Structures are given as structure tokens and as C-alpha cells.
């Protein structure tokens, strides 16, 4: 009788092998999804203002706000970039989309205040108080604000996901780099994006609804 090449495995050994296979499969899936996000979005991301197509609206995605409605460096850079696009006649309106779930925390109002202080006319600023994440912000830009064409002003690490979501939602979306600083712990944001890309892929494939949709309020 030929000797068995592989020893008989007990229950725990089989379990470990199964977990190893699952872990490798998940890792491959994460890599493939991230490659897909990068592939779909890269054509629509710009760092040269002259090459950026004109759009109806610049979407400013929320980020951390400090006391007295002071914008974090990252959020201020997004707002400043949006202002540059407006002043260059690349966009006609601002859509500021952020988190307002807590009584004493309002990213949207802080962004509006900053833009007004920089001389942006109030009637050019549209407010989305339910932009709880990037997917919700873009979904609501399409369905609530009925934005016809959008430039997302955000950091380089964030641009692929934002543009990918918008394009997969059928929107005319472009991305423009808002990197103006070297940000603290940016590697954490980059690592987080790898998993956030997977969530975006899942949201799109199950046609997830935003946490709050609300009545239509067209930008025009």
C-alpha cells in the first residue's frame, strides 16, 4: 500500500487551513478592488488647473472642525482649493457637504462661514448637512441637489474613491488635488482608504441608500 503523502488532519488543523485560505482570498479581493478604483478614477483626476474641465459645482467634502468653527488644515485646504476653482471660472457654485449629527458639531456651517469670510457670495453656496460620508455626499449631490457636473476638491489619498463613487453613480465627476500641506499621520488616512474603497465598492454593488435623502433641492 502506497504511503499517504499528506497526513490526516484533525479538526483544528483543517480550521486553521480554512482561515488561512479565507484570509488570502480577502486580501486578494481588497487588492483587486483597490486596483479597480484606481483604474476607473485616474483619468478624471487633475492637478493642473488648465487641464481641468469646467463644471457646474465644486463639491467640498467635510473633515474635522475645531472649536469656534475653525477648519482643520485638511478641510481648509479643500475650501481654499474650491475657491481657486471658482476664481478661475472652473465652477459656478459650491456644494459643502459635511457631518451635522451632533448638536455642537457642524462641518457644513463651518465651511459656509469660512467661504463667506473669503468673499464668496452667499447665493453661490449650497449646504448639505447630511454628508455623513463620501458615498452619501455624492449620492445626495446627484439625487437631492441634482448636480449636473461636479469637481471634488479633496486630498490626493481621497480623490480616487470620491471620483470612483461619482462615476459609478453615473455622474460627470472630476477630482482636483487639494494637497497644500504635509499632513500629520497621513499614512493612517492612506491605510484607511484601502478599506474605505472596499466599503464604497460594496455600497455601489448593493445600491445602498444614504442615511438621509430628503427633498430635492436643485442647485440651479
Query: Which position has the grid cell 457644513?
Result: 108
Cell of 147: 448636480
> Which string of DSSP letters, residue by residue, matches 64-100?
-EEGGGEEPHHHHHHHHHHHHHHHTTS-SEEEEE-B-
Q: Where are the domains of the chain?
A: 54-205
pLDDT tens digits, one per residue of 127-177? 999 999 999 999 999 999 999 899 999 999 999 999 999 999 999 999 999
- Give the per-residue pLDDT at 1: 47
Low-confidence ranges of the chain (pLDDT < 70): 1-7
pLDDT, residue 196, reads: 96
CA 194 to chain centre: 12
Q: Which CATH number fits domain 54-205: 3.40.50.970, 3.40.50.620, 3.90.1150.10, 3.40.605.10?
A: 3.40.50.620
* 9/73 Cα distance (integer angstroms): 56
With DSSP H G I counted as helix, E B as strand and the rest as coil, what are the percentages for the chain, rounded to 5?
Answer: 50, 15, 35
Cell numbers for 115: 467661504
pTM, whole model, 2 decimals? 0.88
| Residue 81 near residue 63, CB atoms below 8 Å | no
Residue closest to 127 by CA, chosen among 70, 115, 173? 115
Helix, strand or coil, per DSSP, at residue 7: coil
pLDDT at 7: 67
What pLDDT is stored for residue 18 in this prediction?
Answer: 79
Q: What distance in Å separates the CA atoms of residue 117 and residue 111, rounded to the nearest whole number?
A: 10
Side-chain-side CA neighbours of 177 within 13 Å: the count stands at 12
Compute CA distances 184 → 73, 187, 189, whole Å: 10, 8, 10
Amino acid at each position: 500500500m502506497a504511503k499517504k503523502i499528506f497526513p490526516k488532519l484533525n479538526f483544528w488543523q483543517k480550521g486553521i487551513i480554512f482561515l488561512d485560505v479565507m484570509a488570502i482570498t480577502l486580501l486578494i479581493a481588497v487588492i483587486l478592488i483597490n486596483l479597480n478604483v484606481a483604474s476607473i478614477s485616474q483619468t478624471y483626476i487633475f492637478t493642473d488647473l488648465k487641464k481641468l474641465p469646467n463644471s457646474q459645482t465644486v463639491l467640498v467634502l467635510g473633515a474635522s472642525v475645531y472649536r469656534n468653527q475653525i477648519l482643520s488644515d485638511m478641510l481648509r485646504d479643500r475650501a481654499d482649493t474650491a475657491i481657486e476653482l471658482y476664481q478661475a471660472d472652473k465652477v459656478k457654485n459650491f456644494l459643502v457637504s459635511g457631518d451635522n449629527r451632533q448638536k455642537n458639531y457642524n462641518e457644513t456651517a463651518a465651511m459656509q462661514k469660512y467661504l463667506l469670510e473669503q468673499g464668496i457670495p452667499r447665493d453661490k453656496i449650497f449646504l448639505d448637512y447630511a454628508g455623513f460620508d463620501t458615498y452619501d455626499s455624492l449620492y445626495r449631490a446627484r439625487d437631492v441637489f441634482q448636480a449636473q457636473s461636479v469637481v471634488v476638491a479633496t486630498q490626493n489619498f481621497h480623490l480616487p474613491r470620491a471620483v470612483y463613487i461619482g462615476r459609478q453613480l453615473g455622474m460627470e465627476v472630476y477630482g482636483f488635488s487639494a494637497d497644500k500641506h504635509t499632513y500629520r499621520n497621513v499614512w493612517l488616512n492612506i491605510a484607511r482608504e484601502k478599506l474605505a474603497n472596499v466599503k464604497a465598492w460594496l455600497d455601489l454593488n448593493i445600491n445602498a441608500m444614504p442615511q438621509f435623502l430628503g427633498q430635492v433641492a436643485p442647485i440651479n
